[in-house]
Structure 1
Amino acid sequence: MDPETALELVKQGATLLLLDVPQYTLVGIDTQMFTVGPAFKGIKMIPPGPHFVYYSSSSKDGKQFSPIVGFFVDAAPSEVIVRKWNQQEERLVKVPEDEEERFCQAVKSLEFDRYLGPYNLSQYGEWKRLSSYLTKTIIKRIEPIGGEITVACESEMDKNSPKTSIERALDAQLGTGKFQASTSVDQSKKRGCYYTTIPRVIKRRGMEGKELTSLNLDKTELLESVLIKDYGGSEDLLLGELQFAYIAFLMGQSLEAFFQWKSLVSLLLSCIEAPFRTRSHLFTKVIF
């Protein structure tokens, strides 16, 4: 890439300025992940649009890592997104507005340019396919208070529910060593994402068993109900939530996101009539 093209991409693309991030920390954006070096201060040349930023703090020797923490951003052209490392909480936090403005001007003046790693544009097409229905509206509707998504907080959300042996082992792991340090933030202020509730079974009073069985074998009617009630009839909103959950699970390692993705996929795959008659367009978009 010639210098003029690179400079134009730097100016037009968004910048993620990450200050004071310790060495060996893992930092990712979309499908790309980096290991922080001594001079790292963020990522430049980020295409406008929705992105998922995630990171995992490391022990001093770089051998132990905490659970991933991630958050979605919707980057505008030339926008500078500033986060600073909080050493005590081991997480990225926002900076005061006056500091943010000062850092934004410094980035636009290219003062940080040598410390910023470039977004790998060759992988952008893959990210676009993963997030093609993800919008700022969907992100704002689903993201948790504070925006942070992490499995470290999810173990607290369902502590009263029955657990498998693997889930109990995960709880034990989250309560020790590097994992325990990462959950030191006040858990009472944490809650999960605002996902749509997807009923697993259709139940109706006064309906005979044969009819109920039929409704649960073909969940086309349930799909229609969910689309109208929770998504205002918009297929793209449902697909956007499906992508949100998949990304939060795939990159953010969120179990809550996995269960939501699984619920939506199970609903779609349990429909017999919808793919061929009522919602052919929706299923075409799901496949492609």
Structure 2
Amino acid sequence: MDQETANALFDNGAIVLFLDAPSNMEFGVDCYSWTTGPIFKGLKLIPPGMHFIYYSAVNRMGESTAIRTGFWVNFLPRQVLVKRWNPATEDVFADDELDEEETNRFRTNFRDFDRFLGVYPLLPIDGDPISPYQKWLRLSTHITPDIAKRVLPQSGKISAMSCVSRFSDVDETRPEFRSRGVIRAEQKEATVDSMDIVPSQSSTSVPNTANKTTALPVEVLQLTFTPIDLKRSFPPGASGVELTKYSIDKSYLLAQALKLHYKDYKDLLGELQLSFIIFLIGEVYDGYEQWKTLVHLLCQSAEAIGQYGCTLFPEFIEILIKQLKVHPSDFFMDALSGDNFIRSNILLLSQTLRDRDSPVPKLLQDAMQTLLDFVDMRFKWDVRQEARLTQMDEEDDEGEYAPVVVEL
């Protein structure tokens, strides 16, 4: 980072004061996290824009519970955000629970905390040529405050323990739940000043409540994902031909989603990115379900390529590549995702482009070739060979092995 950029961030960077945080607690922002030390008071030099702050409580042994909670903030230049830890709830106080006069005093005197503040990870760390901030920018290009406001709870808060959505198998009327809002993030091993914040270990473990002795009320944090039903992708009153066509080709469903729920296709891509981050960094499984739904929708909308072949689809492929670059390479092999929907959808999209009667825009062709090269290198998926074998099988079905029609 050059001196001019550093000066600009010093003048315009935002600050989050995170007061009274216990030691050994995970604290993270966007694509990086640390473990708090005894004098940790927050983070400085946060670039203006959308960011995700997250944390994990500690148990009675002073160890992180790995249950992440966090909140999205659209930081303004020079904004000072004040949060305070509540040991009774093992979470931050709600903004309306803070003393307004004291909070304003902290904002005014924020420079008193300067030496106790960690620095936002703007530069490459641990030999990685890509800085955490660069990774964040690549994952969040289309996420806007409006999209976050529509999908996230009102407070911008999510939690791996208590987020619910249309995918959740949970009774939200249970008395132990009460309403409010929050989020979460990807984590990487970090090294910073041991007096400030110290390295944490990457974790995507299931929340552990074994050390809890008193059950506290749990916030219901509602995620309002766009309702997309892949099983009903045909128009009302569809004829038999239309029903068959649009059950396979999701273009009608895509068109309806763009018409009814998004201002334009970029908003759809923004929700795709937000859902991915909610899952991968926030560790909220419902985010994975919405991300998976949107990937299915886009990879199976053959007819829509005629309209969006130079816009939505190339941009979608570019985003998907960036997401798969930060995705654990073994995820698609485990029991959770054993159907390997990513591989099958990439194959479907590749075949769709191959079989189109009209020309495929060069921009989309190039994007698809980049995707096929990437998954071959990263996951060892030879989708091209798989597509060739599928095509040979189809040709056999149409040749001497084709079904024989017998007239009775």
Aligned pair count reads: 270
Give 1:207 deviation, angstroms.
3.1
The amino acid that maps onto 2:279 is F
- Report the Cα distance in structure 2 between the residues aligned to 1:78 and 1:101, rounded to whole angstroms: 14
Moved more, 35-44 or 54-63: 54-63
Aligned residue number for residue 177 of structure 1: 210
- Report the Cα distance in structure 2 between the residues aligned to 1:13 and 1:205, rounded to whole angstroms: 51
Aligned residue number for residue 223 of structure 1: 254
Aligned residue number for residue 138 of structure 1: 147
Q: State yes or no: 1:282 paired with 2:322.
A: no
Aligned residue number for residue 165 of structure 1: none
Alignment CA distance shift 1:41-1:201 (3 Å): same
Alignment CA distance shift 1:154-1:136 (3 Å): closer
Aligned residue number for residue 383 of structure 2: none
CA contact (8 A) 2:73 2:156 kept: no
Aligned residue number for residue 185 of structure 2: none
Residue correspondence of structure 1 range 1-288 to structure 2 within 5 A: 9-93=9-93, 94=95, 95-107=98-110, 110-122=111-123, 123=131, 124-154=133-163, 157-159=168-170, 176-178=209-211, 184-187=216-219, 190-202=220-232, 203-204=234-235, 206-232=237-263, 234-275=264-305, 277-280=306-309, 281-288=311-318
- SS of the residue corresponding to residue 9 of structure 2 reads helix
Give 1:9 deviation, angstroms.
2.8
Alignment CA distance shift 1:100-1:4 (3 Å): farther
CA contact (8 A) 1:64 1:178 kept: no
- Report the Cα distance in structure 2 between the residues aligned to 1:5 and 1:147, rounded to whole angstroms: 29
Give 1:4 deviation, angstroms.
9.3
- Report the Cα distance in structure 1 between the residues aligned to 2:19 and 2:221, rounded to whole angstroms: 26
- SS of the residue corresponding to residue 111 of structure 1 reads helix
CA contact (8 A) 1:17 1:83 kept: yes
Give 1:117 deviation, angstroms.
0.5
CA contact (8 A) 1:15 1:78 kept: yes
CA contact (8 A) 2:24 2:64 kept: no
- Report the Cα distance in structure 1 between the residues aligned to 2:228 and 2:33, rounded to whole angstroms: 32
Say which structure, 1 or 2, has more relative contact order (CA 8 Å, 6+ apart).
Answer: 1
The amino acid that maps onto 1:135 is T
User: RMSD value over aligned CA atoms?
Assistant: 2.6
- Report the Cα distance in structure 1 between the residues aligned to 2:26 and 2:207, rounded to whole angstroms: 18
- Report the Cα distance in structure 2 between the residues aligned to 1:204 and 1:220, rounded to whole angstroms: 11
CA contact (8 A) 2:42 2:118 kept: yes
Consecutive unaligned residues of structure 2, counting only runs of 5 or more, are 124-130, 173-205, 319-408
Give 1:6 deviation, angstroms.
5.2
Give 1:178 deviation, angstroms.
4.2
CA contact (8 A) 1:26 1:34 kept: yes
CA contact (8 A) 2:27 2:54 kept: yes
Give 1:266 deviation, angstroms.
1.2
CA contact (8 A) 2:82 2:103 kept: yes
Aligned residue number for residue 168 of structure 1: none
- Structure possessing the higher radius of gyration over alpha carbons: 2
The amino acid that maps onto 1:248 is I
- SS of the residue corresponding to residue 82 of structure 1 reads strand
Consecutive unaligned residues of structure 1, counting only runs of 5 or more, are 162-172
- SS of the residue corresponding to residue 152 of structure 1 reads coil
- Report the Cα distance in structure 2 between the residues aligned to 1:132 and 1:283, rounded to whole angstroms: 15
- SS of the residue corresponding to residue 72 of structure 1 reads strand
CA contact (8 A) 1:19 1:41 kept: yes
- Report the Cα distance in structure 1 between the residues aligned to 2:300 and 2:56, rounded to whole angstroms: 37
- SS of the residue corresponding to residue 74 of structure 1 reads strand
- Report the Cα distance in structure 1 between the residues aligned to 2:299 and 2:313, rounded to whole angstroms: 10
- Report the Cα distance in structure 2 between the residues aligned to 1:206 and 1:228, rounded to whole angstroms: 19
Aligned residue number for residue 194 of structure 2: none
- Report the Cα distance in structure 2 between the residues aligned to 1:114 and 1:209, rounded to whole angstroms: 70
- Report the Cα distance in structure 1 between the residues aligned to 2:49 and 2:4, rounded to whole angstroms: 23
Give 1:177 deviation, angstroms.
2.0
Alignment CA distance shift 1:271-1:10 (3 Å): same
